[in-house]
Amino acid sequence: MALRRVLRIDDANDKRILKLHCQPVKLPDRTLKQLVVDMLETMHTANGVGLAAPQVGLPIQLCVIGIPPEYEEQADGTELEVAPAEEYVLFNPKIVKTSGEEIMRDEGCLSLPGWYGQVPRQTWVTVEFQDLTGKARRLRKADGLLGWALQHEIDHLHGILFTERIRDLSTLRDLTQEPVSADAPVHAPVG
């Protein structure tokens, strides 16, 4: 396994690569297995929820997403896992259906660490993609964090950065410069 360098929006050379429209991947291709492992490790090490291939310098249609487990606090104060962690590896993903209804979300990106802004996203999306073997797959009506991450990562594959989706740029802020309060929401960059 190897950590990959994540390209940055605020670096002119990196941004040129991040703005490319990515090429489809011909599958199956066993040589991509190590890339997938590296991308998942890079995403997890950076505490991200998603990572797209162009963010590690490769203009191909591949993204990975890692949804953390969900816990519920019990009456005795202990936490019970109610939904396990899930990982997704998507080649050539396409949004084929949307809710038609938007929600504003505070969104960040591993390519602009610490910065978050209000981004409109569909409340759910249906995505068709291929797995590593080339088999066609579908995620139906993905909502919540998964739906949000899918939209963010698929944008990356088309050279669209989250900062370009922000309608009110006054919502874009560097959270590393803000004081942390105990009741502040936890932010995880998407990808």
Which residues does the annotation mark as catalytic? 153
CB neighbour class for 63 (10 Å; exposed up to 12, middle 13-18, buried from 19): buried
Interatomic CA distance for residues 172 and 122, integer angstroms: 20
Cα separation of 152 and 109, whole Å? Answer: 9
Q: Is the dihedral of CA 43, 48, 51, 54 positive or negative?
A: negative
Report the largest interatomic distance among the alpha carbons of the chain, rounded to a whole angstrom: 53
Residue that is written with structure tokens 């009456």 in the block: 75
Rounded distance between C-alpha atoms, residue 149 and residue 65, angstroms: 7
